[in-house]
Amino acid sequence: MMLSKSRFEELKKLWQRKKTSRKGAEGTHVSIFQIPRGMNDLASVYRRGGRPKKLRGDDFLQELARLALEWGDQRIAKCARALLELGIVIVDKQKHRFSEKRGPHLGSPEQDAQEAIVLKRQVDAHAVNKVQALLKRHRSLSVREASAEIAADLGLEAASFEAAAQRVRNAFKARMGKQTRG
């Protein structure tokens, strides 16, 4: 059985919808870190990718100071002081700039990279399991068709739908190769 052009386009649209809705709901894959007690409300504001490149420490600290004075709110002033005390913002030649310091609740870049690899492997393993189940239910499907179905259903992260389907197919072939060799 061959994947028809209309079915392919239908799966491609499903993949785009799922990928877009997943990004809207959770950003992209989020680094796994422990949320300190009492900060759950901030987790929904957190976006992966780190600090925006255009954000300047000097401007940020100045705006916090302005808001603290405008609102007369000590919490905002404490925030500005905390940034300085923790070494997140440092004084550099009469200006304030962000340091490269990372918090204890967030892993190192190496840990983040390792977690991303582990997460990708887990997603791929899940996709392969779904392909195997689909092939058992519909014996007339090819691995290519089943991979496309699952890539679309999962909204798998990839540059294109074709790349997502190929990623699933490659993971499937890798697992089947390992199973037959030993």
Mean predicted confidence (pLDDT) in 8-34:
67
Longest dimension (CA), the chain: 71
Q: Which residue range(s) make up the domain with 23?
A: 5-32+107-181
Q: Please, what is the Cα angle at 156 between 151 and 159, to 5 degrees?
A: 105
Together in a domain, 20 and 67: no
Q: Alpha-carbon distance 123 to 120, whole Å?
A: 5
Together in a domain, 114 and 26: yes
Together in a domain, 94 and 158: no
Mean predicted confidence (pLDDT) in 34-54:
64
The pTM is what?
0.53
- By the 8 A CB rule, do 156 and 164 touch? yes
Specify the number of domains making up the chain.
2
Model confidence at 101: pLDDT above 90: no
pLDDT tens digits, 111-131: 667 777 887 888 889 999 999
Model confidence at 90: pLDDT above 60: yes
What per-residue confidence (pLDDT) applies to 36? 63
Mean predicted confidence (pLDDT) in 95-118:
71
